[in-house]
A and B are shown apart, each in its own frame.
Chain A
Amino acid sequence: MSTVLKVSARPPVFRGEGLFYDGKHAEARPIDLSINEKRGVLLGEGLDWPLDKIRLVPDVAGKDLVILRHRDDPAARLILTDEALLTRLPEKDRSAPVARRGRLAAWALGAIASVALILFVLVPLMADQLAEHLPPEGEKALGEVTLKQIREALDDSGLQPIAFCTGPQGERALRRIEDRLTEQMDPPVELTVHVLDHDMVNAFALPGGHVVFFRGLIDEAETPEEIAAVMAHEIGHVISRDPTRHALRSAGSIGVLGLIFGDFAGGAIVLFVTEQLIEAQYSQGAEAEADVFAHDLMQRADLSPAALAVMFERFRTLAGGDAEGFIGHFLSHPRLGDRIAAAREAVPEGFQPRPLLDPGEWRALQGICEGEQAF
Chain B
Amino acid sequence: MDTSPGALAQAEIAAQEQRVERLSTLFTGRRWPLFTLVLGTGVLSVLTLGLYRFWQKTRVRRWYWSAIRPGGHPLEYVGDPYEKLLGFLIAVVILAFYIGVVNLLLMFASFSLFQGNVAAYALSFIGVVPIWFYARYRARRYVLARTRWMGLRFGLAPGAWGFALRALWHWILTLITLGLLWPRMTFKLEKYRTDRTWFGDHRMEQGGTWTMLFWTIKWHLAALGVALVCLPILGAGLMPLAVFGFCLSGLLLVFGAVYYRVETRKRLTGEKRLGAIRLTLKVNSLRVFWILLSGYTLSLLVAAIPTGFLLVLFFRLQSAETLTEIGMDEMSQVLAGADRWALVGMTVMSYFAIFLLWSALTQAWVTLPIARLYARGLTVEGAEALPAIRQRPRDEHIEAEGFAEALDVGASL
Contact = CB atoms under 8 A, between A and B. Distances in A.
Interface of A: 19, 21-28, 30, 57-62, 64-65, 67, 74-77, 79, 81-82, 98-99, 101, 103-104, 107-108, 110-112, 114-115, 118-119, 122-123, 126-127, 130, 133-135, 137-142, 145, 248, 251-253, 255-256, 259-267, 270
Main secondary structure on B side of the interface with A: helix
Interface in B5-36: 5-6, 8-9, 12-13, 16, 28-30, 33-34
B383 to A, nearest CB: 9
Name the residue in A112, A126, A252 with the highest tally of chain B Cβ atoms < 10 Å from its Cβ.
A252
Contacts of A104: 82-83, 86
Contact of A118 (B101, B355, B390, B408): B101
Interface stretch (B62-70, B186-194, B232-240): B62-70
B355 A265 contact: yes
A359 to B, nearest CB: 29
Contacts of B388: 26
Contact of B151 (A22, A137, A256): A22
A254 to B, nearest CB: 9
B70 to A, nearest CB: 11
B376 to A, nearest CB: 14
B66 A61 contact: yes
A123 B30 contact: no
Interface in B54-86: 59-60, 62-64, 66-67, 73-74, 76, 78, 80, 82-83, 85-86
Interface residues of B, number: 77
Given A75-B148, A101-B82, A103-B398, 13 more contacts: A19-B73, A21-B73, A21-B150, A26-B149, A26-B200, A60-B62, A81-B6, A119-B96, A138-B112, A141-B111, A252-B100, A252-B107, A264-B46
A104 to B, nearest CB: 5
A134 B334 CA distance: 55
Contacts of B333: none
B177 to A, nearest CB: 34
B50 A262 contact: yes
A251 B92 contact: no
27 contacts: A19-B9, A21-B73, A23-B151, A25-B389, A27-B387, A28-B16, A57-B66, A59-B37, A60-B63, A61-B34, A61-B67, A62-B28, A67-B66, A74-B78, A75-B153, A75-B391, A81-B8, A107-B86, A107-B89, A118-B96, A118-B100, A137-B115, A141-B116, A145-B117, A252-B101, A260-B96, A261-B50
A98 B80 contact: yes
- 7 shortest A-B CB distances, which residue pairs? A21-B151, A62-B28, A111-B89, A64-B5, A61-B67, A141-B115, A61-B29
B92 A259 contact: yes
Contact of A62 (B29, B107, B115, B389): B29
Name the residue in B30, B89, B391, B394 with the highest tally of chain A Cβ atoms < 10 Å from its Cβ.
B89
Given A28-B73, A65-B5, A145 B112 contact: no
Given A111-B92, A118-B101, A134 B394 contact: no
Contacts of B200: 26
B351 interface: yes
A112 B200 CA distance: 36
B108 A134 contact: yes
Contact of A24 (B95, B104, B391): B391
B406 interface: yes
B116 A251 contact: no
A259 B94 CA distance: 11
B83 A253 contact: no
Given A251-B104, A252-B103, A262-B50, A134 B89 contact: no
Nearest to B355: A265
A77 B151 contact: yes
Contacts of A79: 74
A303 to B, nearest CB: 35
Contact of B107 (A59, A101, A248): A248
A350 to B, nearest CB: 47
Given A59-B37, A111-B86, A26 B152 contact: yes
A143 to B, nearest CB: 10
B62 A140 contact: no
Contact of A114 (B62, B93, B115, B386): B93
Name the residue in B28, B64, B93, B105 with the highest tally of chain A Cβ atoms < 10 Å from its Cβ.
B93
B113 to A, nearest CB: 8
Given A108-B86, A138-B115, A30 B108 contact: no
A331 B63 CA distance: 52
A61 B64 contact: yes
B100 A130 contact: no
B101 A260 contact: no
B67 A62 contact: yes
Contacts of A138: 111-113, 115
B332 interface: no
A87 B64 CA distance: 26
Given A134-B112, A141-B116, A266-B46, A59 B63 contact: yes
B49 interface: yes
B351 A265 contact: yes
B45 interface: yes
Given A61-B28, A134-B112, A98 B5 contact: no
Given A30-B16, A111-B92, A76 B151 contact: yes
B63 A24 contact: no
A75 B394 CA distance: 10
Contacts of B153: 75
Contact of B62 (A59, A264, A267, A270): A59
A130 B108 contact: yes
